[in-house]
Amino acid sequence: MENSQREAYVRQAQSIVETRSSPTLNAAVAELQRGIGGLLGATPPLRRDLSDGAILIGTPASSRVIAGIGLKLDGLGSDGFLIRSVNLSGNRVTVIAANDEVGVLYGTFAFLRQLQTHRLAETLNIRDVPASRLRMLDHWDNLDRTVERGYSGFSLWDWQKLPRWRDPRYTDYARANASIGINATVLTNVNADAQVLTPLYLAKVAALADVFRPYGIRVFLTARFSAPLELGGLKTADPVDPKVRAWWRAKSDEIYRIIPDFGGFLVKANSEGQPGPQDYARTHADGANMLAEALQPHGGTVIWRAFVYAAKPGEDRAKQAFDEFRPLDGSFRPNVMLQVKNGPIDFQPREPFHPLFGAMPRTPVVLEAQITKEYLGFATHLAFLGTMWEEVLKADTCRPKCGTPVADTIAGMAGVSNVGTDRNWTGSQFDQANWYAFGRLAWDHGLPAREAAEEWVRMTWGNDPKVVEPIVGMMMGSRQAVVNYMTPLGLHHLMATGHHYGPGPWVNNLERADWNPTYFHKAAKDGIGFDRTKSGSDAVAQYSPRVAGCFSNRRCVPDDYLLWFHHVGWDERMRSGRSLWGELAFRYDDGVSRVQEMRRTWRALQGEIDAERFNEVDAFLGIQEAEARWWRDASLAYFSNVSGRQLPEGVQPPA
Ligand code: GCW
The two beta strands, 527-528 and 412-416, are unpaired
Q: Atom 1, ligand 1: which residue's CA is nearest? A: 346
Contact 439, 180 (CB under 8 A): yes
pLDDT above 70: residue 580: yes
- Per-residue pLDDT of 302-361, as tens digits, reads 999 999 987 677 899 999 999 999 999 999 999 999 999 999 999 999 999 999 999 999
Q: In the prediction, which pLDDT does 653 show?
A: 57
Query: Is the Cβ atom of 190 under 6 angstroms away from ligand 1?
Result: yes
Q: What percent of the chain has pLDDT over 90?
A: 97
The band of 560, judged by pLDDT with boundaries at 50, 70 and 90, is very high
Query: Is the Cβ atom of 191 under 6 angstroms away from ligand 1?
Result: yes
Please, is 32 exposed, middle or buried when counting C-beta atoms within 10 Å of its C-beta (0-12, 13-18, 19+)? buried
Q: What percent of the chain has pLDDT over 70?
A: 99
Higher pLDDT, 644 or 2: 644
ipTM > 0.90, yes or no: yes
CATH of the domain spanning 3-128: 3.30.379.10
In 3D space, the residue among 155, 153, 230 whose CA is nearest the CA of residue 188 turns out to be 155
Mean pLDDT of 112-125: 97
Fold entry, domain 134-450: TIM Barrel (3.20.20)
Contact 104, 24 (CB under 8 A): yes
Q: In the prediction, which pLDDT does 2 show?
A: 87
Q: What's the rounded Cα separation, in Å, for the pair 388 and 519? A: 24
Query: Is the Cβ atom of 236 under 6 angstroms away from ligand 1?
Result: no
Please give the distance, rounded to the nearest whole angstrom, from the Cα atom of residue 191 to the centre of ligand 1. Answer: 8
Query: Is the Cβ atom of 375 under 6 angstroms away from ligand 1?
Result: no
**Which atom of ligand 1 approaches the CA of 416 most closely?**
13
Predicted TM-score (pTM) of this structure = 0.98
pLDDT above 70: residue 622: yes
User: Which H helix or E strand runs over 543?
Assistant: none
Higher pLDDT, 273 or 651: 273
**Which atom of ligand 1 approaches the CA of 191 most closely?**
8
Q: In the prediction, which pLDDT does 319 show?
A: 97
310-319, 414-423, 601-610, 613-622: lowest mean pLDDT where? 310-319
Q: In the prediction, which pLDDT does 481 show?
A: 98
- Per-residue pLDDT of 375-408, as tens digits, reads 999 999 999 999 999 999 999 999 999 999 999 9
Our mutation pick for probing the ligand 1 site, out of 346, 354, 510, 515, counting the most ligand atoms within 8 A of Cβ, is: 346
Q: Which residues of 191-210 are buried (b: 16+ CB within 10 A; e: fewer)?
A: ebbbebbeeebbebbbbbbb
The band of 652, judged by pLDDT with boundaries at 50, 70 and 90, is low
Please give the distance, rounded to the nearest whole angstrom, from the Cα atom of residue 140 to the centre of ligand 1. Answer: 9
301 bridge partner residues = 264
Sheet containing 81-88, strands listed edge to edge, beginning at the edge strand earlier in sequence: 46-47, 15-17, 54-58, 91-97, 81-88, 125-128
Contact 205, 197 (CB under 8 A): no
Q: Atom 2, ligand 1: which residue's CA is nearest? A: 346
Q: Which of these CATH numbers, 3.90.1330.10, 3.30.1360.100, 3.40.50.620, 3.40.50.300, describes 485-530+567-643?
A: 3.90.1330.10
Enzyme catalytic residues: 272, 346, 374
Q: What's the rounded Cα separation, in Å, for the pair 265 and 335? A: 11
- Per-residue pLDDT of 216-243, as tens digits, reads 999 999 999 999 999 999 999 999 999 9
Q: Show me where the domains of the chain are located.
A: 3-128, 134-450, 485-530+567-643
Our mutation pick for probing the ligand 1 site, out of 155, 188, 268, 272, counting the most ligand atoms within 8 A of Cβ, is: 272
